[in-house]
A = this chain, B = another copy of it.
Amino acid sequence: MPVYRAPLDDFRFLVEEFLDLDQAADLPSLTDCSADDIRAILREGARLAETVLQPLNAVGDEQGVRLDDDGRATLPEGFAEAYQTYCEAGWNGLTADVDYGGQGLPVFLGLCLSEMLNAANASFAAYPGLTHGAVEVIERHGSDEQKQRYLPPMIAGRWTGTMNLTEPQCGTDLGLIRTRAEPATDGSYRISGTKIWISAGEHDLADNIVHLVLARTPDAPAGTRGISLFIVPKFLPKDDGNAGERNRVRCAGVDRKMGMKASATCEMQYDNAVGFLVGEENRGLAQMFTMMNAARLVTGIQGLGLASVAAQNAASFARERLQGRSLAGPKYPDRPADPIIVHPDVRYMLLKSRALVEGARALGLYTGLQLEIEHRHPDPERRRQAGHFVALMTPIIKAFFTDMGSEVANLGLQVHGGAGYIHDTGVEQFVRDVRITQIYEGTNGVQALDLVGRKLVADNGDLLKSFFSAVQSFIDSVRGEEGMAEFVDPLEQSVKRLASTSALVYQQMSRDPLEAGAASSDFLRLFALTALAWMWARMAAISQRALDAGSDHQTLHQDKLAVARFYFARMLPETLGLEAKVAAGAQTLMALEDDRV
């Protein structure tokens, strides 16, 4: 069975050496939080993930979610107790607002925790993940009364949250929503309709479930401009803050899925359920997007977490499994065969996994810091710049990290050979669990279109400029440093390739909007691989300097340099093909009639 060891050394490296927290020193969330505090928090989070959540991961896959005839869902054995442990230690409010009972710690710490939870037990992690998104929506768009009523129990974890968007006839295209909201005389609404694929829609973890539901009021305009957002609690809150009367919302079914089997994916039926409008009518889509953006980052981190646990189990297996001999002659002659890690092709799979996981982790935390700056920095110009970076990176992190999740989970299975395909080995679960991340919170195709169609052109291209100028200042800062040319030169070429491709795409799509869609997926991957090259060059520079200065973490710094070299030699060249594919444009994609594709 798989095990999980949280990457505490890498977290330490990234937080203490890589993130350059000085540039963010004015952040209120950092002033009261020392490096030692952060280490201690992450160590405790690791303990929870490794010893409480990971042992339930296979149990969850095996038992799934049971729904009884009254629409009550029961999660697998141990989940409710684990959730209690998680909440009691205050993890659910780690980064939440102190005014509502949160701990107000920086977002990037929350991302580290989220990676560990997802690596240990992705199904479990879905429940707090959804709650956090719902908290953010209410925080941003709810009335004071709604905040007072819902945020404290949700931040404590006593109540959980959901987002109800999808209906049978509408997934990506929310303009097709049919769920109705009729105004009642007391200012509330009566919600009726069917929502599908609602994660955490029903379970036995918490006292109450706060559904955020998109619906149409009677006179709403057609399409996406006529959608409003409602809070529809499973139990109507009493004035004392506790859950009261049962509302007319019910779970009508729990879907059987490829994976994530302990995450309840529910069909929810609203039958004149009491709902409370959030903000104004017809603003629902924009409000829900608050949640979607956060959810997209967290979905990327879910891909990263599953990649991380898959990669580490593959590496352990490759060190233990004895088959064949090194092509260069027996390397462990005293054993009946060499461990398969001696084979270059096995190493290739492991190094790809490592370069992706550690590169993505760096990019994720870097973006987490920008998010923190965007939300909490006193300087509005710093907030604006950071916001641009986050907006640009959100679709890249969602799509690339989750594609990587599937890629790395599959590489891990492949390293295991036949054993990987056997259910009881436990690594095929990673492949099944991670597969949904490429789809939900906006398919990866939708993310790519968001990048090309929105982010590339937003604010006169300022988002893109914020990226290029950050990379350029890094390049300028290390150019000429001993040993840096091998990283900086190909990074520079790669950035040029991205810049010229961006310009080309911009040109092509201003001529024909279909060119945006034709370029999108390849362009996103080209962008992501270039961003990772920047991360690896930066990690290499930090590691080289640390080694020159007599590093206390010599192994880690040497490894970073070695993996950086691998990345530039064997992964970054993929961008050559991507550049050519984007340049080929839409023509061959659009040539066939719809009924002949």
Knowing A344-B517, A570-B588, A589-B347, the reply to whether A594 touches B166 (Cβ < 8 A) is no
Please determine whether B562 and A592 come into contact, CB atoms closer than 8 angstroms: yes
Whether a CB of chain B sits under 8 angstroms from the CB of A173 is yes
Q: Is A473 an interface residue (CB 8 A)?
A: no
Q: Is A516 in contact with B418, judged by CB distance below 8 angstroms?
A: no
Q: Tell me, yes or no, whether A445 is within 8 Å of chain B by CB.
A: yes
A491 within 8 A of B: no
* Minimum C-beta distance from A76 to chain B (A): 17
Q: With an 8 A cutoff between CB atoms, is A160 at the interface?
A: no
**Contacts A256-B422, A438-B414, A588-B562 hold; do A323 and B517 have CB atoms under 8 A apart?**
no
Instruction: Report yes or no: A445 in contact with B576, Cβ–Cβ below 8 A.
Output: no
Docked pose: A536 CA to B590 CA in angstroms: 19
Over the window 399-440 of chain A, the binary record of Cβ atoms lying under 8 Å from chain B Cβ atoms (1 yes, 0 no) is 000000010001001100110111110001001100110111
B351 touches A597 (CB 8 A): yes
Query: Per a CB cutoff under 8 Å, which of B172, B351, B438, B590 touches A323?
Result: B172
> A445 contacts which of B345, B410, B594 (Cβ < 8 Å)?
B345
The B-contacting residues of A in range 548-597, CB under 8 angstroms, are: 555, 559, 562-563, 565-566, 569-571, 573-578, 580-581, 584-592, 594-597
Q: A348 to chain B: which residues have CB within 8 Å?
A: 518, 521, 589
Q: Is the CB of B453 within 8 A of A327?
A: yes
Interface string of A151-181 (1 = CB under 8 A from B): 0000000000000001001111101100000
Report B-chain residues with C-beta under 8 Å of the C-beta of A169.
Answer: 322, 336
Q: Are B324 and A172 in contact (CB under 8 A)?
A: yes
Q: Does A528 contact B (CB under 8 A)?
A: no
Interface pair A576/B580, CB less than 8 Å apart: yes
- From 335 to 368 in chain A, residues with beta carbon under 8 angstroms from any chain B beta carbon are 336-337, 339, 341-351, 354
Please report the total number of A residues contacting B with Cβ < 8 Å.
103
A339 to B593, CA, bound (A): 13
Contact pick for A517, options B327, B521, B585, B594, CB 8 Å: B327
Is A197 engaged at the interface, CB distance under 8 Å to the other chain?
yes
> B577, A424: Cβ atoms under 8 Å?
no
Q: With A581-B570, A588-B562, A592-B562 as given contacts, are A257 and B344 in contact (CB-CB < 8 Å)?
A: no
A559 touches B517 (CB 8 A): no
A184 at the interface (CB under 8 A from B): no
Q: Which of B342, B418, B423 contacts A171 (CB under 8 A)?
A: B418
Q: Is A513 part of the contact surface with B, judged by Cβ < 8 Å?
A: yes
A328 touches B513 (CB 8 A): yes
Are B418's CB and A440's CB within 8 A? Answer: yes
Bound-complex Cα distance A566 to B592 (A): 10
A123 at interface by CB-CB < 8 Å: no
A137 CB within 8 Å of chain B: no
A348 closest partner in B (C-beta): B589
Copies assembled: 2
B573 touches A423 (CB 8 A): no
Q: Which among A342, A406, A414, A589 has the highest number of chain B CB atoms within 10 Å?
A: A589
Q: Which residues of B are found within 8 Å of A428, using beta-carbon distances?
A: 257-258, 435
Judge whether A520 is part of the interface by a CB distance below 8 angstroms: yes
Q: When the two chains form the complex, which single residue of B345, B453, B573, B588 contacts A449, counting CB atoms closer than 8 Å?
A: B345
Enumerate chain B residues within 8 angstroms of A521, measured Cβ to Cβ.
345, 348
Indicate if the CB atoms of B584 and A570 lie closer than 8 Å: yes
Tell me the minimal C-beta distance from A81 to chain B in angstroms: 27
Alpha-carbon distance A319/B422, docked complex (angstroms): 36
Alpha-carbon separation in the docked complex, A381 to B197 (Å): 62
Cβ–Cβ contact A580 & B588, under 8 A = no
A435: chain B residues at CB < 8 Å are 410, 413, 421, 428, 431
Q: Are B569 and A573 in contact (CB under 8 A)?
A: no
Given known contacts A418-B166, A555-B596, A592-B562, A343 and B445 CB-to-CB distance under 8 angstroms: yes
Q: Which residue of B lies closest to A443 (CB)?
A: B417
A165 to chain B, nearest CB (A): 11
Are A422 and B257 in touch, CB under 8 angstroms? yes
Given A176-B322, A257-B423: 18 more A-B contacts, CB < 8 Å = A176-B323, A257-B422, A258-B431, A327-B453, A327-B517, A339-B594, A342-B594, A343-B517, A345-B521, A348-B521, A349-B445, A413-B435, A414-B444, A420-B439, A565-B591, A569-B581, A573-B580, A576-B576
| For the complex of A and B, 4 pairs with smallest distance between CB atoms | A344-B517, A573-B580, A569-B584, A258-B428
26 contacts between A and B (CB under 8 A): A171-B323, A171-B418, A172-B417, A176-B322, A197-B418, A255-B422, A255-B423, A258-B432, A318-B597, A328-B513, A341-B594, A341-B597, A344-B589, A345-B445, A345-B517, A347-B597, A348-B518, A351-B588, A406-B410, A414-B438, A418-B439, A421-B435, A569-B584, A569-B585, A576-B577, A576-B580
What is the interface of chain A, defined by CB distance below 8 A to chain B? 166, 169-173, 175-176, 197, 255-259, 315, 318-319, 322-324, 326-328, 331, 336-337, 339, 341-351, 354, 406, 410, 413-414, 417-418, 420-424, 428, 431-432, 435-436, 438-440, 443-445, 448-449, 453, 512-518, 520-521, 555, 559, 562-563, 565-566, 569-571, 573-578, 580-581, 584-592, 594-597
